[in-house]
Amino acid sequence: MKTQIEQNGIVTLSDDATKSVSDSELWNDDLRPTTEKEHTWTGLNFATLWIGMCLCIPAYTMASGMISLGMNWWQAIGTIFLGNVIVLIPILLNSHAGTKFGIPYPVFARLWFGSKGAHIPSMARAVVAAGWFGINTWIGTTAIDVLLSASFPAWKSLAGHTAIIFALFWALNVGVAYKGPQAIKVLSLIAAPVVGISALILMIWAFTNAGWGPILSTPSKFTTTGEFLKVFFPTLTGVIAFWATLALNIPDFCRYAKSQRSQMIAQSFSLPLTMSIFSFIGIAVTSATVVIFGTAIWDPVQLLAKFPPFIIFLGTIIIAMASLTINVGANIVAPARAIENLYPKRITFGIGALITGVFAILMQPWFIMSNFGNYIFGWLGTYAALLGPIDGIAIADYWLVRRRKMALKELYEPAGRYNYSSGFNKNGVYALIIGVAVPVLGLLVPGLRFLWDNAWTFGLFISMFAYAYLMKNDQSVLSPGEYEAITQIQAPDPMERLAK
């Protein structure tokens, strides 16, 4: 029986199959596969999504930490570019699954962990995302608060002014997220050009007032290759970890892609180039501030506070827009989906977004940010050790084990092949444990420190190969000819080919 239809590389459920699983406990309107009509995201949408998320305060200031560690400007930019090219690989590999089968990340995880085991990678991704949601909300709050205080001195004397901004900005973030990924698509289309043009204007201002300044001419502090590599590898892991979260749940967005080609090309150019260019703008502008103000100002909020009130007002809107775009796009979709997947028949995406917002407040981001350095470098590096192995398992399952073929309908059947044993795929759990345990040895054995400094990379490859080996001849894998037996493969739409 044909349960799914493939055309132009996109697989959708047949009407009969949809009816047969629509009452399943694993199905709801947000977690179901996208229909043919819902594949509406073009390359422009993915480009603006990434540009909007990359143009944020942490990306602007990312290179500053590397320069403070001893790198010169081109070593810092090169590290940022390389790290984003590396993380782009798992992003594109996981994007393929989301685009082809139209499934969100928690449903994708059912393939490799089982219908119940999927909560392990889903909630792992959700916890770090909720933490980042709170942090970015607080960063946006403090930025807006500083700029308002600079424009209106009376604002600073208002009791609880920071709490007021936090409550309003939190509500705005949750409100946009409540509307779902389609609202994020519209937000990105607006935010990306506005923030991008503003950054270019800021760089032009810096160049015309001070040239490129001393930071760009400061040499590297490293005298040998060995000294540089000791800093380079852990720093590279930090750059990779910056977007390692999106490498997992990118199917949440790519499930709406019109074609594989459009999303791949758009993401390949927009992510590494935007991160590198925006970081360079941060370095160049900071270099100019040394000449103009006599000190290096890495924080764009502190820099904007030195401008006239009208410019500060515009800057407040732009920074709020940038913080909102990255926060909603990168930090709330994944936990909302993961929470929704806990009880698909009762919890909607909107409810998941609200719960995520409450959880972010309970994590007290204002307290976490009081020890910013330890949190970002310690916590983020530690989480990279967990996210890398999950990425490796996802890639191994879809590309090496199943070779891009699955029975879409059975992802929503409690008794389907992807239920494994009582809802858990033990091979996925074993591969995850192995992938996390090996890099942890680097913390325990001084001579193996390189394993921990490159935890994301080692964890990814170790789990990938361990999972592929453990899943040999697994019964959940479609047998030769079985995919063709359940799939109605239609001829490519000539108009679609012209549109590409």
CATH code, 450 = 1.10.4160.10
Which range marks the domain in which residue 59 is found? 4-499
Quick one: pLDDT at residue 15? 95
The continuous run of DSSP H or E covering 499 comes out as helix 494-499
Helices (H), 306-448: 309-331, 333-342, 349-362, 365-368, 372-374, 380-395, 426-444
Rg (CA), the chain: 23
Mean pLDDT of 253-282: 95
Per-residue model confidence as pLDDT tens digits over 229-250: 988 988 898 888 889 889 999 9
* Cα 301 to Cα 297: distance, rounded to the nearest angstrom: 9
Strand partners, 424: 421
Quick one: pLDDT at residue 260? 97
Contact 110, 410 (CB under 8 A): no
pLDDT above 90 (res 397): yes
For residues 437 and 147, the model is more confident at 437
- Those residues whose C-beta lies under 8 Å from the C-beta of residue 115, and which sit 6 or more positions away, are 26, 414, 416, 418, 419, 420, 423
Among 268, 271, 267, smallest CA distance to 254 is for 267
Quick one: pLDDT at residue 1? 81
53 burial level (CB within 10 Å; 0-12, 13-18, 19+): buried
N-to-C CA span, the chain: 32
At residue 41, what are phi and psi to the nearest 5 degrees?
A: -75, 125
Per-residue model confidence as pLDDT tens digits over 152-204: 889 989 999 999 999 999 999 998 888 876 777 788 888 888 888 998 999 89
- DSSP-derived letter for residue 5 is E
Grouping H, G, I as helix, E, B as strand and the rest as coil, residue 6 is strand
The rounded mean pLDDT for the chain is 89
pLDDT above 60 (res 496): no
Tally of CA atoms within 13 A in the half-sphere of 340 that contains its CB: 26
Tokens of 226: 């060995």
Tokens of 401: 């084990």
Give the least confident one: 102-111, 176-185, 423-432.
176-185
pLDDT band at 354, cuts 50/70/90? very high
pLDDT above 90 (res 426): yes
Tokens of 29: 């309107």
Among 12, 186, 28, smallest CA distance to 99 is for 12
Quick one: pLDDT at residue 43? 95
Quick one: pLDDT at residue 69? 82
Among 325, 427, 491, 387, smallest CA distance to 94 is for 387
Q: How many other CB atoms are found less than 10 A from the CB of residue 232?
A: 20
Number of domains in the chain: 1
CB environment 164-179: b (16+ within 10 A), e (fewer): ebbeebbebbbebbbe
Grouping H, G, I as helix, E, B as strand and the rest as coil, residue 70 is coil
Mean pLDDT of 324-353: 87
pLDDT band at 129, cuts 50/70/90? confident
Instruction: Look up tokens 């143009």; give the residue.
Output: 55
Q: How many other CB atoms are found less than 10 A from the CB of residue 127?
A: 17
